[in-house]
Amino acid sequence: MHNRIGLGGLFLVVLIACHKDDFTTVPQVTIESISPATAVSGSVIQVDGRYTDLEGDIDSALIVYKWYNNTTAVRFDTFRFGFTQLGIPLGVQKGELTLQFEYNTNNYPDLTKLPGVSQRDTTAAFGLLLIDKGKNRSNYSESPTIRLKKP
C-alpha cells in the first residue's frame, strides 16, 4: 500500500516539476522552422517559433541575421522587434510567433528588408532572443541555415 502512495506521489511531483519548467520568469524561446529553404530576390523569409513566459509580459525580440562563408559567419545584423510588431497579446504565457523578412526588394512595405548578399550565393541563419518588461532575456535559439541566391 505504501509503495502505491509513494509511486503516485512521486509521479505527481515529477508531473508538477515538468509543468513548472514550461513557465519561468525568464522567457523561453525555440525556433521551429524557417522557409523557404532557398531565397531569391523578392522572397519572403518566414521564421516560426514558440515561446513561454510566466508573466506574459514579452516586450521585444532581438533577431540576429548571420551570413556565412562556407561554415564561418562573416556578417551579423541585429534587428529589434517591438511588442506591437511581434503580435503577441499581453498576458499570454505560451504561444507561437512568426517573423517575416523581405529579401533584397521593397515589394512589401510592412516587412523588414534584408539586403542582398555579395556577388555569390551563400547561406544564412536567424537567431531569436526575447526580452520581457522586467528586462529578463530568454535563451538564444537559432534556425537552420537557408540558401541565399545572389541578387
Q: What is the pLDDT of residues 119-131, one digit of tens each?
A: 678 899 999 999 9
Q: Is residue 5 part of a domain?
A: no
Which domain covers residue 108, as residue numbers?
24-148
Mean pLDDT across the chain: 83
Q: Tell me the pLDDT band of 30, cut-offs 50, 70 and 90.
A: very high
pLDDT of 6: 43
pLDDT tens sequence across 57-93? 998 999 999 888 777 777 788 888 887 777 777 788 9
pLDDT of 32: 97
Q: Is residue 16 part of a domain?
A: no
Q: Is residue 117 part of a domain?
A: yes
CA-to-CA dists, residue 97 to 13, 32, 119, angstroms = 31, 10, 32
Pair type for strands 141-142 and 122-132: antiparallel
Closest by CA to 21, choosing from 55, 52, 46, is 52
Q: What are the residues facing 112 on neighbouring strands?
A: 101
Distance CA 67, CA 103 (A): 13
Q: Is residue 15 part of a domain?
A: no
Which residue did the predictor score with more confidence, 18 or 70? 70
Cell matching residue 34: 524557417
Cell numbers 533584397 correspond to: 104
Q: Is residue 8 part of a domain?
A: no
Which residue did the predictor score with more confidence, 91 or 134? 134
Q: Is 106 helix (H, G, I), strand (E, B) or coil?
A: coil
pLDDT of 118: 64
**Domains of the chain: total:** 1
CATH number at residue 81: 2.60.40.10
Residues 6+ apart with CB under 8 A from 110: none
